[in-house]
């Protein structure tokens, strides 16, 4: 059981904690399409990452490729937490059955 969990954890590459905001903007130029239709021609998406580090909030803008990787890292973090929970339970199960 524990070996299975370890194998799954070994496959995880990137992990992250934080919040990703996707925003669209209007540039304000008079002849830009975004002025005619906000819904269809707004610029973006722009990605803003917010995370806590040593008690401080860090904000950073990400390009689409970075955003994609960060989303994957968030998903991996969830999986890792689940696996750690399973590992804990499996450990208790093992410890309890020792006479």
Q: Give the number of other CB atoms < 10 A from CB of residue 54.
A: 5
Tell me the CA distances in angstroms from 76 to 10, 36, 45, one per residue in order: 12, 40, 23
Rank residues 9 and 26 by Cβ distance to Zn ion and give the closer one: 26
38 is an interface residue for Zn ion by CB under 5 A? no
Please answer whether residues 48 and 35 qualify as being in contact, where contact means their C-beta atoms are separated by less than 8 angstroms. no
Nearest distance in Å: CB 55, Zn ion = 38
Rank residues 3 and 40 by Cβ distance to Zn ion and give the closer one: 40
Q: How many residues bind Zn ion (CB under 5 A)?
A: 3
For the residues of 32-45, what is the DSSP string, one character each?
A: -HHHH-HHHH-EEE
Q: Which of 32, 38, 84, 89 touches Zn ion (CB under 5 A)? A: 32
Q: Binding residues for Zn ion, per CB under 5 A?
A: 27, 32, 34
């Amino acid at each position: 059981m524990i070996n299975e969990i370890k194998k799954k954890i070994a496959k995880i590459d990137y992990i992250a904690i934080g919040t990703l905001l996707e925003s669209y903007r209007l540039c304000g130029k008079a002849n830009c399409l975004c002025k005619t239709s906000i819904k269809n021609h707004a610029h973006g998406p722009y990605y803003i990452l917010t995370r806590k580090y040593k008690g401080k909030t860090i904000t950073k803008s990400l390009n689409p490729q970075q955003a994609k990787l960060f989303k994957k890292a968030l998903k991996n973090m969830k999986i890792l937490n689940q696996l750690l929970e399973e590992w804990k339970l499996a450990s208790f199960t093992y410890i309890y059955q020792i006479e």
